[in-house]
A and B are shown apart, each in its own frame.
Chain A
Amino acid sequence: MTLRDIVEILDAKVLVGEDHLHRSVKTAFSADLMSDVLAFAKSGSLIITGLTTLQVVRTASILDAIGLVIVRGKIPSKETLDLAGDLDIPIMSTRYILFETSGRLYANGIVGCVEKIGGMNCGK
């Protein structure tokens, strides 16, 4: 599945990174807690969150995330969007809530970075 398919499934608006929608996605991680994203998200995953701070974009960049989906219809500040442009992180905004967003993607074949916690620590 590509980011373009994700945009369609989530009826999302592409706010940054129209050029990167051909990127393919297999895994995702949903959280509003960036420390958990850092602990459990795999590189190359889609990050789904309701936070819109600069640190969400920087967290995505640190992890080489494939893109960000912002849920609950939130639109990040221009500063956040500009940073995402600089760091090549596509941002899509959907009006679906976090639960619906995750469920719809899962139903379409996207799986979580980890199923359950335990035994995985930072890829060591």
Chain B
Amino acid sequence: MTDYSYENTFTVEGGDFESAGKTSIEIKKVLKKLAITNETLRRAAIAVYEAELNIISYAKKGAIDLAVSDDKILISVADQGPGIEDIELAMQEGYSTATDQIREMGFGAGMGLHNIKSCADTLDISSEVNKGTHLSIVINRRGSGNDESGLSD
């Protein structure tokens, strides 16, 4: 059993395009406070952001469970929504079912799940059509000091 020193749930409302990204910025702040930095922080923040955008874009609502231990970050995302019929197809770069509203925000080019996968050490997706989708994202924490480009001030 992994011993998580931090656990919290963040809820996200589907269709709330104005707020898209708010929860991710909040989660990034939490991770920073937990002394997660550099590439690990960047990968976790991007994965959460893409997952949040997916909830807002496609689901009725969803929850992001964040759990942090000494050696890993576990991000579980569960939504109530249309589900994904063909997960393999949805994972392909460029495959998208996005609406105009999503594209106007600068998203919806079929990169979301692919980006999450490249940020994760492991990604498990399960989905049931007309019920929802569940993502389990694990990001291993590595030693700091491997980032060549932080903010300069």
Whether a CB of chain B sits under 8 angstroms from the CB of A97 is no
For residue B133, give the distance in angstroms from its CB to the closest CB of chain A: 18
Total chain A interface residues with beta-carbon distance under 8 A: 36
Q: Would you give the shortest CB distance from A116 to chain B, in whole angstroms?
A: 16
Contact B24 A43 (CB under 8 A): no
| With known contacts A43-B42, A122-B119, A35–B50 Cβ distance under 8 A | yes
Asked, given contacts A35-B50, A53-B106, A59-B106, whether A64 binds B18 with beta carbons under 8 Å apart, the answer is: no
Binds A, one of B66-74, B81-89, B145-153: B145-153
Q: How far is the CA of A123 from the CA of B49 in the complex (A)?
A: 16
- Interchain nearest-CB distance for A100 vs B (Å): 21
When chains A and B are docked, how far (Å) is the Cα of A58 from the Cα of B25? 7
Give the interface residue-count category, chain B. 20 to 34
B12 within 8 A of A: no
Q: Which one of B18, B46, B50, B109 has the highest number of Cβ atoms from chain A below 10 Å of its Cβ?
A: B46
CB distance from B139 to the nearest CB of A (A): 10
In the complex, what residue of chain B is closest to A32 when comparing beta carbons? B106
List of A residues within 8 angstroms of B14 by Cβ: none
CA distance A7 to B11 in the complex (A): 40
Separation of A63 and B20 alpha carbons in the complex (Å): 15
Q: B100 within 8 Å of A by Cβ?
A: no
**Distance, CA A35 to CA B105, complexed state (A):** 10
Binds B, one of A18-26, A68-76, A101-109: A18-26
Q: Please list 9 pairs of residues, one from A and one from B, whose beta carbons are closer than 8 Å in the complex, sorted by A's number.
A: A35-B109, A43-B151, A49-B106, A53-B105, A58-B22, A58-B24, A62-B28, A66-B151, A122-B118
Given contacts A35-B115, A44-B152, A61-B28, list 15 more A-B pairs with CB under 8 A. A27-B149, A33-B109, A34-B107, A36-B111, A43-B38, A49-B106, A55-B107, A56-B106, A58-B24, A61-B25, A63-B46, A121-B118, A122-B42, A123-B42, A124-B121
